[in-house]
Amino acid sequence: MHLLGTGLLRIAVVGLGAIGSQVLWQLSRRPDVDVHGFESSYPGHPEAGAGGESRLYRNFETDDPAYEPVIHRADALWRELEVATARRLRCPTGVLLTGDHASPQLQRALESADRSGKPSRTLAPDELRVNHPQLAVSDTDIGLWDPQGGVIRPELTVSATVGLATGNGAVVHDFTRVTSVDGAGDGVRVRTSDGARTFDRVVIACGGWTTTLRPDLRDTVVVRRLTSAWFHGEDDDYLRGMVPFMRTAPSYCYGIPAGGGSTIKLGLGFNDHHPVPDPDAVARTPAPEEAERFSWIVDDVLPGLQRRPVRMSTYLESYTTSMHDYIGFDRQLPGVVLLTGFSGHGFKVSPAIGEIGAQLATQGESDIDVGFLRDAPPVFDIVDPETGRTTHNHIVSSRPPET
Ligand SMILES: Cc1cc2nc3c(=O)[nH]c(=O)nc-3n(C[C@H](O)[C@H](O)[C@H](O)COP(=O)(O)OP(=O)(O)OC[C@H]3O[C@@H](n4cnc5c(N)ncnc54)[C@H](O)[C@@H]3O)c2cc1C
């Protein structure tokens, strides 16, 4: 079905966050598509999965080598996006991966660096101590320096990308929540508070609200509330020269310098994030006790930080049980593409996922084969689909299982 008399394919994108904004941009570039984007807030708002001012951009894959073509394509599209928007969306600071040398994630990243053809440098414990004096380093730790890694500006990326799309003719319905997506004859009906419209295809990219719109996915996707916390150093010099880092093992965490270098934003792993039964009822202001969950980072990783954060904020993210993205056609509704479950790593690859989503919606297949996502084994189980409670996830674990 095409828009009567125009020959255009009418496509709706539901959710204009990290992924939906990129799908919108890709579709807006196609002369054969009339694209509408629906966003319950505004593009670039800070309350979903794309808030918090920074995201790590890493070139080396820590989990599954099959992601590497996606990362390489994303890098090319990031460059295109930065030229087209004339904005610096990624800051080229370099990124340090560190942790126990035997950690599977670090080992996979080393192999990924070798395959990538991109510059990289492996650091022995003594070099780590000299080059990154803020970090407490044990004799079994190593570092992998990714000089072409950096820090993404997530909210700016979303708003600038949607701006590009509207410049190309995309129609954006902001402050418009989609309440249902269902079949309507040959097409797909999208209902919002403003009424219903029918499209030829719909791309759903709702992040933390996926299971609100599609409760049938509660056995596959869970939503978590993530807390980020910003810390000052004990003195003004401590964070000088600090680089963004991700520590894989023995306990997972990451840090991104912020505030002109005076603070660092710290993040934890999956098991330290709260399950979310209803994203609209989430406590947005973290309780002061939540700061305690970061104490081990001050004790074990960055001992020159003040013990208490100066700021904490919460965000929402969707996870699949395999921690591999859910990308594909809706099992129940023909014409609907689902893009969800980016499991804490979706921003760096968002331009490539946007292209894949746009290709699936228009052509029914994508240039990059994402079949590997479906074959990935689970790393946790969903214990209670209603509350989103899961078993322990050992892949990105900031703490051991509770006994
Ligand atoms: C704290 C934190 C740190 C992270 N760190 C990194 C990192 O360092 N590197 C990295 O690559 N990734 C990182 N990620 C992951 C990355 O940010 C997410 O994977 C990505 O934002 C997910 O994109 P999304 O489009 O699925 O969801 P979102 O970005 O949350 O977008 C979903 C959008 O849909 C809208 N929406 C929802 N329901 C509806 C509806 N019914 N109708 C209309 N609009 C709707 C929402 O308002 C929102 O704007 C991190 C995530 C978090 C939360």
pLDDT at 2: 55
Q: Sorting pLDDT into bands at 50, 70 and 90, what band is 395?
A: confident
DSSP 309-329: -SEEEEEEEEEETTSS-EEEE
The response to whether residue 309 sits with its C-beta less than 6 Å from ligand 1 reads no
Residue 86 in tokens: 């004339």
* Mean pLDDT over each residue of the chain, to the nearest integer: 95
Helix (H, G, I), strand (E, B) or coil at 229: strand
- Mean predicted confidence (pLDDT) in 163-185: 97
- What integer pLDDT is reported at residue 261 of this predicted model? 86
Distance CA 106, CA 394 (A): 15
- Mutate which of 89, 342, 353, 396 to test ligand 1's pocket (most atoms within 8 Å of Cβ)? 342
Kindly tell me if the per-residue pLDDT of 71 is higher than 80: yes
The arrangement of secondary structure in 9-390, i.e. its CATH architecture, is 3-Layer(bba) Sandwich (3.50)
Q: What is the pLDDT of residue 186?
A: 86
Does residue 6 carry a pLDDT above 80?
no
Q: How far does the chain reach from its first CA to its final CA, in angstroms?
A: 56
Q: Answer for the pair 202, 360: CB distance below 8 angstroms, yes or no.
A: no
Query: What was the pLDDT predicted at 403?
Result: 52
Query: Is the pLDDT score of 150 beyond 90?
Result: yes
Collapsed DSSP state (helix, strand, coil) of residue 96: strand
> Dihedral of the CA atoms 206, 192, 180, 381 (nearest 10)?
20
Tokens 């319905």 belong to: 173
- Asked whether 17 lines ligand 1 (CB < 6 A), one says yes
- Return the ∠ at Cα 210 (arms to 343 and 59), rounded to 5°: 25
228 lines ligand 1 (CB under 6 A): yes
Beta-carbon contacts of residue 355 (< 8 Å; ≥ 6 apart) = 22, 26, 73, 77, 366, 367
pLDDT of residue 394: 82
Joined together, the tokens standing for residue 334 give 């023909």
Of 152-161, 215-224, 374-383, 388-397, which gets the smallest average pLDDT? 388-397
- pLDDT range class, residue 260, cuts 50, 70, 90: confident
Ligand 1 near 155 CB (within 6 A): no
Segment among 142-151, 348-357, 388-397 with least mean pLDDT: 388-397
| Whether the Cβ atoms of residue 224 and residue 210 lie closer than 8 Å to each other | no
- Distances in Å between the Cα of 263 and the Cα atoms of 42, 217, 222, 230, 305 are 28, 39, 31, 6, 9
Q: How confident is the model at residue 331 (pLDDT cuts 50, 70, 90)?
A: confident
pLDDT surpasses 90 at 4 = no
Mean pLDDT, residues 221-235: 97
Q: Answer yes or no: is the C-beta of 319 below 6 A from any ligand 1 atom.
A: no
Q: Where are the domains of the chain?
A: 9-390
- Name the residue with tokens 């390489």: 72
Residue matched to tokens 């322990």: 392
